[in-house]
Structure 1
Amino acid sequence: MWVQLRCGLEPRTLAALAVVLVGAAVFATAHFWSARPASVRAPEQVVEAAEARVTGPEAANGLLPGPPAEPGPSAGSSAMAVSGGRIVVDVSGKVRRPGIQHLPAGARVADALRAAGGVREGTDVTGLNRARILTDGEQVVVGLPVAQAVAGSSPAGGGGGSGAGQGGPAVPVSLTTATAEQLETLPGVGPVLAQHIIDYRAEHGGYRSVDELREVDGIGDRRFADLRPLVRP
């Protein structure tokens, strides 16, 4: 009545205005209610994918939170598995069980001696590098005298010279295990060249083939041809 008297509105106009105001209030209330923040749950497949990612290799490396991964094989064991993991060496001389020995890749001379039952009592192993890493197919000779293992000995009463004087040793010299004195028994090899052969061996971890002798400083084609039948890796 106050609005009607104040504004001079007809009852029908006043009713229409009231309807408009009520509709506006209802619309505003509905709009405010629909715009309120609400929590939304991610789809199941997204949650499963996230869990799989968190518990994967990233969690093991500490990049993402998650339970610790199962310990796997190390890089060294993987490399060993790729390369076959085993080598075969021939252990001869003064050991308790000479013969072929199957050892893990990366084994050392000391491991080969243990596999052969150990060195016999009283054997001199001063010139044997027991810390050297073995290569597949090589031979480890233990405790044989230089004259027997390298140069050979002359027949008794023959009056001949040493094996080196007869054109080379009777037994091929191992480029991987021979000492400087043993290398000097080879024809044309003096102290300097013997040291070059040993230096190359130390730098490359041994000789895997006789052909590597070509790469030693001071050995040309002619000298290599003379030495090839007298040496082995």
Structure 2
Amino acid sequence: MWLQLRCGLEPKTLAALTVVLVAAAVFAAMHFWSDRPASVRAPERVGEAAASGADADAGGPVTPEPSPGAAPAAGPGGPAGSGVPGAQIVVDVGGKVRRPGIHRLPSGSRVADALRVAGGARPGVDLDGLNRARVLVDGEQIIVGAPPGPAAAGGTGAGTGGPAAASGAPAGPVSLNSGTPEQFDTLPGVGPVLAQHIIDYRTQHGGFRSVDELREVNGIGDRRFADLQPLVRP
């Protein structure tokens, strides 16, 4: 009544103003209520970590989880780094050893391991030309104590050297995986430099799996490979 008398407002205008003021008050109350601080629940992972920390403080066992991308440890049947637990290779060990024949070895074994399972070399056998630290490949043949191929005959005594000696080729196929520089040097068209290239390729690639890999050696083209193919073996 005081506002109506003071401002000279009509009853309808005063009622409308009252409704507007009440609506504004309600809107302000809702706005302040929605902006009030609210409690936030901690994530479950944080709760689990806190529980694990409590177990550790209490002396209980804590089992670590493997990190993503960590390589699994090799099983008891396979060597470390082979990738497949229990993987094996088959090699043929011949020559002057106590137990020549086919032997199975864990993947990643070396020539020294093959000599061990074959009973070792016979007394008096020279192993200087055999790389006992080389890693073996599946299906490889190792000849122990094989003498290097003979050089060409000196020109006297016709027929004493045979066709192989006359051409300067070795008496038998030379092993690409166990041949020495001297043996490779007896092959036609192979000198000390190319012989070293063959040995370098063998060391870098873990041996020759087939004679065709000889094409990838630096310095051996198609024509030279055709000459060497019947004179070598893996």
Instruction: Say which is worse superposed, 200-209 or 214-223, in terms of deviation.
Output: 200-209
TM-score, normalised to structure 1, is 0.62
- In the TM superposition, residue 170 of structure 1 has moved relative to its aligned partner by 3.5
The verdict on how the C-alpha distance between 1:176 and 1:78 changes in structure 2, with shifts beyond 3 A counting, is: closer
Structure 2 residue 87 is matched with structure 1 residue 85: yes
Q: Identity of aligned pairs, percent?
A: 64
1:106 alignment counterpart:
108
- Which residue type is aligned with residue 145 of structure 1? P
Aligned counterparts of 1:140 and 1:112: Cα–Cα separation in 2: 8
Q: Is the 8 A contact 2:79 2:106 kept in 1?
A: no
Partner of 1:140, secondary structure, is strand
Aligned counterparts of 2:124 and 2:166: Cα–Cα separation in 1: 31
2:214 alignment counterpart:
213
Aligned counterparts of 1:171 and 1:70: Cα–Cα separation in 2: 58
User: Which residue among 67, 73, 89 is the counterpart of 2:62?
Assistant: 67
Partner of 2:92, secondary structure, is strand
Structure 2 residue 127 is matched with structure 1 residue 125: yes
The verdict on how the C-alpha distance between 1:69 and 1:78 changes in structure 2, with shifts beyond 3 A counting, is: farther
- Which residue type is aligned with residue 224 of structure 2? R
Offset from partner CA, 1:100-139 (integer Å, 9 cap, x none): 0100000011110110111111111111111111111111
- Which residue type is aligned with residue 118 of structure 2? A
TM-score, normalised to structure 2, is 0.62
Aligned counterparts of 1:92 and 1:171: Cα–Cα separation in 2: 15
Aligned counterparts of 1:201 and 1:104: Cα–Cα separation in 2: 20
1:226 alignment counterpart:
227
Report how many aligned residue pairs link the two structures.
179
The verdict on how the C-alpha distance between 1:170 and 1:85 changes in structure 2, with shifts beyond 3 A counting, is: same
Q: Is the 8 A contact 2:92 2:142 kept in 1?
A: yes
Aligned counterparts of 1:212 and 1:83: Cα–Cα separation in 2: 28
- In the TM superposition, residue 176 of structure 1 has moved relative to its aligned partner by 1.6
Structure 2 residue 200 is matched with structure 1 residue 199: yes
Aligned counterparts of 1:132 and 1:140: Cα–Cα separation in 2: 11
2:98 alignment counterpart:
96
Offset from partner CA, 1:200-228 (integer Å, 9 cap, x none): 22222222221121112211111111111
Aligned counterparts of 2:48 and 2:123: Cα–Cα separation in 1: 66
- Which residue type is aligned with residue 231 of structure 1? V
Matches within 5 A, 1:30-179: 50=48, 67-68=62-63, 74=73, 80=82, 82=84, 85-147=87-149, 158-160=159-161, 163-166=164-167, 168-179=169-180
Aligned counterparts of 2:48 and 2:81: Cα–Cα separation in 1: 33
Q: Is the 8 A contact 1:87 1:136 kept in 2?
A: yes
Aligned counterparts of 1:110 and 1:201: Cα–Cα separation in 2: 17
More helix by percentage: 1
Aligned counterparts of 1:164 and 1:216: Cα–Cα separation in 2: 26
Partner of 1:90, secondary structure, is strand
- Which residue type is aligned with residue 202 of structure 1? T
- Which residue type is aligned with residue 201 of structure 1? R
Is there any run of 5+ residues in structure 2 with no aligned partner, and where? 1-40, 53-59
